[in-house]
Amino acid sequence: MSTLTVPRDQLIYAMDRANPPVLRAPSGSTLVFQTRDCFEDQIQDAQAQFTALDWNRINPATGPVHIEGAEPGDALAIEIIDIRVGSQAVMVTGPDLGVEGDRLTEPAVRVYPIDGDHVTVSGVRLPLRPMIGVIGTAPADEPVPNGTPGDHGGNMDTTVIRAGSTLYLPVNVDGALLALGDLHAGMGDGEVSVCGLEVPGEVTLRVTVLKQCRWPLPMVVTDEHLYTIASALTLDEAATRATKHMSAIVQTEAQLSRADAIGLLSAAGNLQISQVVDPLKTCRFELSLDVLRQLNVALPGVPA
Ligand code: CA
Ligand code: CA
């Protein structure tokens, strides 16, 4: 099957069932999404005037793509094959932004050149860890701005959404309407300054429709772990939701009682923070694939 490219001039600012698809792709297609950074590439140097930014052009996502055969109740399995990032990364923080926003008195704009597979931040050389900040499908009802995460995906800012991972997203409307953007050359869990190493780039992925997926989504599978991802107004609520999603999987798929399921998660799982800076906060629950193997639980679309 040929590779289809979604060009970076096809941008949306909300996940919306009314967005016209840029192209249609069969299940099993390999797609290349070209993306602009979360400021739509408006910041090219550290002298850029933060106050002059056009805030209507924040968090663009490239797409959407109509996946043929995807219907409400299905899921998309999105294998992230490769993430290539641009030649420099932008970071911004300031008053009312991020965890120090109550004490910062002026905006700070930083531009860091990417040097091969490293980038130097505040004098410290860091390996690149490319990831996707915004990736989602259209919600069933009201549009969701790309800056907000939710059960449709969106601005999850979750570090495990990286090359080699498979992300599962719900299909809420015919064709799913998959879109993505907001690549980071790296980001720490929490995204505490309000941004990652913001970069334009290109993502190669393969997308497959899974009919009638009953698992709570979004979900990520890496080489070693399964993650449930959940967002909510507070970190407490996001943490509870992510944990209950994993507990529901273990109860349903392994026929464990609620008490035994949560006991197993308490003994063997890890509750983690994805981000604390978006309109909804995001947490994830990590469980090793070895645990699932011992429970004889097969991942959706993956033979046991
Ligand atoms: Ca983001
Ligand atoms: Ca970002």
β-pair type (149-150, 144-145)? unpaired
How many other C-beta atoms lie within 10 A of the C-beta of residue 184? 29
> 3-210 falls under which CATH superfamily?
Acetamidase/Formamidase-like domains (2.60.120.580)
Q: What is the mean pLDDT of residues 226-250?
A: 98
Ligand nearest to the CA of 198: 2
Q: DSSP H helical segments within 146-234, as ranges?
A: none
Region 117-139: what's the mean pLDDT?
A: 98
Q: What is the pLDDT of residue 304?
A: 62
The ligand that comes nearest to the alpha carbon of residue 134 is 1
In this model, does residue 1 exceed pLDDT 80? no
CB contact set of 244 (below 8 Å; sequence gap of 6+): none
- Residue 93 Cα, ligand 2 centroid: separation in angstroms? 12
pTM of the model: 0.97
Average pLDDT over residues 21-38: 98
As a whole number of angstroms, the distance between CA 91 and CA 199 comes to 9
User: Which ligand does the CA of 201 lie closest to?
Assistant: 2
Q: What are phi and psi of 121, to 5 degrees?
A: -120, 125
Ligand with an atom nearest the CA of residue 186: 2
The answer, yes or no, to whether the previous bond of 127 is cis (omega within 30 of 0) is no
Every domain range in the chain assigned CATH 3.10.28.20: 219-294
Mean local confidence (pLDDT), 50-74 = 94
What confidence tens digit (pLDDT) does each residue in 247-297 have? 999 999 999 999 999 999 999 999 999 999 999 999 999 999 999 999 999
**Phi then psi dihedrals of residue 291, to 5 deg:** -60, -45
Mean pLDDT, rounded, for 151-178: 98
Q: Which residues lie near ion ligand 2 (Cβ < 5 Å)? A: 38, 133, 182, 195-196
Whole-angstrom distance, CA of residue 133 vs CA of residue 147: 10
What class, spelled out in words, does domain 219-294 have in CATH?
Answer: alpha beta
Residue 47: predicted pLDDT:
87
pLDDT surpasses 70 at 69:
yes
Residue ranges matching CATH 2.60.120.580 in the chain: 3-210
Residue 74 · residue 31 · CB < 8 Å: no
- Ligand 2 centroid–CA 58 distance in Å is 10
Three-state secondary structure call for residue 19: coil
Give 48's pLDDT tier (boundaries 50, 70, 90): confident
Mean of the pLDDT values across residues 90-114? 96
